[in-house]
Amino acid sequence: MGDAATSEPAEPAEPAEPAEPAEPAEPAEPLIQAAGGMVVRRTPDSRVEVALVHRPLRGDWSFPKGKREPEESLEECAIREVAEETGFTCLLGPFVGHSEYRDRKDRPKKVTYWVMEVRSGGFVAGEEVDELRWVDLPGAGDLLTYARDRDLLAALGAAADDLFAERVRPRAS
């Protein structure tokens, strides 16, 4: 038989060295909140078209959108930004989705979109937006500059169908 191990009482551990003070955590980058609209219309042959805007300073095609003002809801921001960039007063429809990316100043940005329908107004070119085009959804996929915008087109089609379906539902007798 082997020798039995004997255990001696453990010596008290030496006090641990005080930890180095933690580096102050980098403040989290503030998230830029923005909102916009996917402004749609139904053509006489029942196709859905969406309004896309060209921003000459960035040289891109996108949905109308912009940054939220303090004390403004995202819905209010979307309606205001669409009006500023397109000249349209719109009815806010179903929520479509979010797009998240880093803006041109490398800040995190989240844009929230709703489908919208024009109630009044008309486009007038300006410094921020110099052109507006109505295009069908496949054409929008070809014209949009950013993949993140193209990714929202499938959700837009479903949301636009919901918006237009609300008006054509048969009344209960």
Share of the chain above pLDDT 70, in %: 80
Convert the pLDDT of each residue in 127-172 to its tens digit.
999 999 999 999 999 999 999 999 998 888 877 777 777 654 444 5
DSSP codes joined into one string, the chain: -PPPPP-PPPPPPPPPPPPPPPPPPPPPPPPEEEEEEEEEEE-TTS-EEEEEEEETTTTEEE--EEEPPTT--HHHHHHHHHHHHH-EEEEEEEEEEEEEEE-TTS-EEEEEEEEEEEEEE-----SS--EEEEEEHHHHHHH-S-HHHHTTHHHHHHHHHHHHHHHHPPPP-
Going along the chain from its start, the domains and CATH numbers come out as: 32-167 (3.90.79.10)
